[in-house]
Amino acid sequence: MKKTVTALADGRELIYYDSRGDAVRDAVDLRPLDPISTTSQIRHDPLLGDSVAVASHRQGRTYHPPAGECPLCPTDAAAGRLSEIPDSDYDVVVFENRFPSLAGDAGRCEVVCFTSDHDASFADLTADQAALVLGAWTDRTAELAELPQVEQVFCFENRGPEIGVTLGHPHGQIYAYPFVTPRTERMSRSVAEHRAATGRNLYDDVVERERAAGRVVLSGEHWVAFVPYAAHWPYEVHLYPLRRVPDLRELDEAARAEFPALYLELLRRFDRIFGDGEPPTPYISAWHQAPFRAAGRADFALHLELFTIRRTSGKLKFLAGSESGMNVFINDVPPETAARRLREVAST
């Protein structure tokens, strides 16, 4: 993997990740951009104990542009189409978000473009391309961990207009939070309580239980994917490395080598859940990594959670009163049924 760091016209950082060591990235961003001005601030909720990012500048962000004006496609200087990526082609690109939810002392937001092909999806990538994305996620985690204001890094992909995606080009995001997220704090408390009560690691016990419970979707020598016992979403899969590590930086080479094929198979199965003729399955794919400086880091288990809000053909799972008002989920699809369906649609 070759990494080339450059800057956009407004000073934002842009990084090319290339599979070829001889790749040359010297294109210049020719757009007349004004310097970025953000209003991001973090407000603490004293009743719930969590934090809310307020970012009014995001009201003006790009919203469903025509394909010919996609800001994530490569620049076509001859046609006068200048984008966020100055070069005429790329493998993987990461750049600072022009409309960040978090900025400055309030953190950092980055965009990850998985491929220059506007009409592709992550599931269309080759194993080598997926490995390059994994390398980019890992490198960004390592670099963002060095920023003094950053406590936790979250790499994720929102896919599909039903999820709220406003740019159709295959891409994900990275949020570098200046605090430990509420979900991670809850998991960490459960892990600490389990350690105090049993002397064992909760993540290890969960993975062991799920491997024996019949909800495994697929597995390899170094990873296992299963539908959890108390899945919140209609189709939800958790992917764990079998050697527990706190974040992407700690994966060994064997786990890195096996990940692309397993992950691509999971994504392709998601697109087959609801049968032929259905539009692509909307999903969220989320890496859970340990906070950098919080207690209990060694007990945390890196894992990926993949889920869709589609519950059946043509119908979505909406977060209504119980879910949104009280955070009590009601799942219409039994986890055992979901696991069976995800096994049935395996690649032949």
Q: Dump pLDDT digits (tens) for 288-311.
A: 999 999 888 999 999 999 999 999
Full residue range of the structural domain in which residue 288 is found = 183-344
Q: Are 130 and 150 part of one and the same domain?
A: yes
Model pLDDT, residue 136: 98
| 139, 255, 309 from 2: Cα distances, Å | 11, 21, 36
Q: Are 249 and 142 part of one and the same domain?
A: no
Q: Is the pLDDT of residue 154 over 80?
A: yes
DSSP per position, 80-105: TB--SB-SS--SEEEEE-SS-SS-GG
Q: Dump pLDDT digits (tens) for 268-284.
A: 999 999 988 888 999 99
Q: Are 81 and 169 part of one and the same domain?
A: yes
pLDDT band at 36 (very low <50, low <70, confident <90, very high): confident
Model pLDDT, residue 40: 84
| 2, 7, 9, 28, 246 from 86: Cα distances, Å | 17, 10, 10, 6, 35
Catalytic residue check, 171: yes
Geometric angle at alpha carbon 202, from 198 and 205, rounded to 5°: 90
Burial (CB < 10 A; 0-12, 13-18, 19+), residue 302, is: buried
Model pLDDT, residue 277: 80
Dist. CA 40–CA 334, nearest whole Å: 40
Q: Is the pLDDT of residue 64 over 80?
A: no
pLDDT band at 32 (very low <50, low <70, confident <90, very high): very high
Q: Are 6 and 145 part of one and the same domain?
A: yes
Token pair belonging to 125: 């990538």
Q: What is the dihedral of CA 192, 198, 203, 206, to 10 degrees?
A: -140
Q: Are 163 and 247 part of one and the same domain?
A: no
Q: Answer with the one of 162, 177, 192 that is the final residue of a domain.
A: 177
Q: Are 188 and 94 part of one and the same domain?
A: no
Q: Are 263 and 129 part of one and the same domain?
A: no
Q: Count structural domains, the chain.
A: 2
The rounded mean pLDDT for the chain is: 95
Model pLDDT, residue 82: 95
Q: Which of 171, 194, 238, 303 is catalytic?
A: 171
- The CATH number of the domain holding residue 66 is 3.30.428.10
Q: Give the mean model confidence (pLDDT) for residues 241-249.
A: 98
Q: Are 170 and 209 part of one and the same domain?
A: no
Q: Give the mean model confidence (pLDDT) for residues 300-323.
A: 95
Q: Are 140 and 49 part of one and the same domain?
A: yes
Q: Using the structure block, give the residue that is written with the tokens 């890094």.
A: 153
Dist. CA 220–CA 242, nearest whole Å: 9
Model pLDDT, residue 149: 95
Q: Dump pLDDT digits (tens) for 199-236.
A: 999 999 999 999 999 999 999 999 999 999 999 999 99
Contact call for residues 171 and 94 (beta carbons, < 8 A): no
